[in-house]
Amino acid sequence: MIKVSKEDQFIDEHLIEFQNHLRKMVAFKSISATNEGIPETVSYLTELLKTLLDAKVEVHTTKGSPIIVATMGFQTAQSVLLYGHYDAMMPGDRKLWHTDPYVLTERDGRLFGRGTGDNKGQLLAQIFGLYTYKQLHGRFPFTIKLLIDGEEEQGSQNLPVIVKQLANTDLADVCCAIIVDGSINQSGDHVLRLGNRGALGFEITVQTGSKDNHSGNLGNIMENPVLKLMAVLNRLYDANTNRVKIPHFYDGILEPTAQEVQWIDQLPYDPMAFQQQTGTFTLPKEKRVFYRKLMFEPTFNISGIESGYTGDGLKTIIPHTVTIKGDCRLVADQDPQTIIREINQLLAPEIAEKSLSISYPVVTPPSKTASSDSKIPAIAAAIKAATGSALIEPSMPGTVPNYIWSDILKVPAFTIPYANFDQNNHAPNENITVSAFKDGMKISYELLKHLQIK
């Protein structure tokens, strides 16, 4: 007979109640891009934190969505900061959803709805894990600061402002930050991530006239903006060698340590399965090459282009403008501000003559926690105790604002994703599995048991 732990039993007994809270959170929408449902979500979370956790809750207003800081637990000299976010993306094309994105729907062991995986389900799993511990043990073992962002989906632009304001007061005692966001490994194993790539988003517009013109009337006379943009891009990136040509772009890139290589060797890698899941045509055959490219190498990506006529048939015009959007994923210790200065200097002639404009809507530095950090064994042990597995990834390929903790608070940052790999975040039919929802609660519970904070 398998013995069921008291925390598993408690979670199972309260699971319907926990799912009902998620149902309400999904219905609020909480779209940070439009502010729809943001006030209702903040009010709901504030009351939930006070009721379930006896937390002292402060709501900090920003130029965008409010940031919630909840403090709980008896006063140890140091505190642990837990991070999550309550905002979600817009649903996109509703025709592609199988169910209403704002009505939580359970099907085949999954909870569907916008924000279930990213990040409302994971946020509530944190809260319910803390609640489970408090109910079973009476009090928390150390001081906890739960910081809930309201603009993560818009780049968390106001989060560093608030953290800087609180760095020497409310957050001065923080010794580490634990971030709950993202997806577990595609193998289904739970992971601890010790860093993340940063992001430098850019938008370039080239204009060569005030209107589109007939290619027969002005061919060889009017400059084509698309061709001019191609020349500009050739100054930034060499497609033949796949190398970025921006000066100092590769400054600060760190080689993986021996410990990080050892962790990579323990990660699963099935190229065929990954290809089926992502639709990628070609993948590296070697595991180390695959993870090195994802974790230790920066990228140069064009995500969209708009110009001219792309409808049926042919329209013989010279477009007067072209706009591209792109991004660079940056690795430690690349400096996005240095890269911005170098790009602006490279494109200075076109910027000066006003034929080209460039903006940087996303600037998020990378973050890295040392592989030798003393808290890694305890955190990994907590994840394994809760789920049965605990892989360690030296870096998260995506971008979260962990630099705020490593650069502003000067504390190590640990990312523990709770959602399933196929959560479809930012896409139609977003979901979190019921098992992932429960595992998240158990990880939060076990973290309180394993971390030793004085």
pLDDT at 230: 97
How many CB atoms are located within 10 Å of the residue 64 CB? Answer: 19
CA 40 to chain centre: 23
pLDDT of residue 218: 94
CA nearest neighbour of 80 among 412, 431, 426: 412
- Is 417 within the bounds of a domain? yes
Contact 411, 405 (CB under 8 A): yes
DSSP per residue over 290-336, as a string? HHHHHHTS---EEEEEEES--SSS---EE-SEEEEEEEEEE-TT--H
- The CATH code of the domain that includes 336 is 3.30.70.360
- pLDDT by residue (tens digit) across 335-344? 999 999 999 9
pTM (predicted TM-score): 0.87
* Within-domain flag for 284: no
Q: Assess whether pLDDT exceeds 60 at residue 30.
A: yes
Question: Does some domain include residue 408?
Answer: yes
Per the domain annotation, does 51 fall within a domain?
yes
**Are residues 87 and 176 located together in one domain of the fold?**
yes
Tell me if 135 is assigned to some domain: yes
270-325 pLDDT, tens digit each: 888 778 877 888 889 899 999 999 999 999 999 999 999 999 999 999 999 999 99
For residue 1, pLDDT beyond 60: no
When the pLDDT of each residue in the chain is averaged and rounded to a whole number, the result is 95
In the listed set 316, 339, 363, which residue is the last one of a domain according to the structure? 363
**With 60 as the cut, is the pLDDT of residue 377 above it?**
yes
Percent of the chain with pLDDT over 90: 91
- Residues spanned by the domain of 26: 6-197+366-450
Q: Specify whether 146 is located in the same domain as 171.
A: yes
Mean pLDDT of 111-136: 98
340 shares its domain with 413: no
In a domain, 106, yes or no: yes
For residues 209 and 193, state if they share a domain.
no
pLDDT at 399: 87
Helix pair 376-387, 434-450: axis angle to 10 deg? 140
Q: Do 155 and 250 fall into the same domain? A: no
330 and 431 fall within a common domain:
no
Q: How many domains does the chain have?
A: 2
Whether 400 has a pLDDT exceeding 90, the answer reads no
Do the strands 67-72 and 110-112 form a parallel or antiparallel pair, or are they unpaired? Answer: unpaired
What is the per-residue pLDDT across 218-228, written as a single tens digit (0 to 9) for each? 999 999 999 99
d(CA 401, CA 399): 7
Query: In the prediction, which pLDDT does 401 show?
Result: 86
- According to DSSP H, which parts of 140-283 are helical? 159-166, 215-218, 225-236, 258-266, 271-278
What tens digit of pLDDT does each residue of 75-95 get?
899 999 999 999 999 999 999
Residue 152 lies in a domain: yes
Taking Cα atoms as reference points, which of 6, 126, 150, 151 lies closest to residue 72?
126
What would the mean pLDDT of 408-423 be, rounded to a whole number? 97
One domain, residues 143 and 179: yes
At 420 the pLDDT is: 97
Q: What is the DSSP letter of 120?
A: I
For residue 428, name the pLDDT band (cuts at 50, 70, 90).
very high
Residues 77 and 172 in one domain: yes
Q: What is the mean pLDDT of residues 20-25?
A: 98
Average pLDDT of the segment spanning 443-449? 98
CATH number of the domain residue 428 falls in: 3.40.630.10
Per-residue model confidence (pLDDT) at position 3: 73
Using CA atoms, how far apart are residues 328 and 197, in angstroms rounded to an integer? 9
Q: Is residue 290 part of a domain?
A: no
Bridge pairing between strands 391-393 and 191-193 = parallel
Instruction: Name the domain boundary from 315, 336, 363.
Output: 363
Predicted confidence at residue 338, as pLDDT, reads 97
- Among 335, 363, 391, give the residue marking a domain's end: 363
Contact 219, 209 (CB under 8 A): no
Are residues 162 and 236 both part of a single domain? no
pLDDT attached to residue 263: 97
Cross-strand bridge partners of residue 31? 36, 88
Evaluate whether 318 touches 206 at the Cβ level (below 8 Å): no
**One domain, residues 156 and 33:** yes
Q: What is the mean pLDDT of residues 6-24?
A: 98
Residue 54 has pLDDT above 70, yes or no: yes
Residues 302 and 389 in one domain: no
Question: Residue 2 pLDDT more than 90?
Answer: no
pLDDT in tens, 353-363: 999 999 999 99
68 & 108 share domain = yes
120 has pLDDT over 60: yes
Placement of tokens 């429960």 in the chain: 438
Q: Please, is 182 exposed, middle or buried when counting C-beta atoms within 10 Å of its C-beta (0-12, 13-18, 19+)?
A: buried
CA nearest to 231, candidates 139, 349, 125: 349
Cα distances from 48 to residues 52, 286, 428, in angstroms, run: 6, 47, 28
Q: What is the pLDDT of residue 236?
A: 98
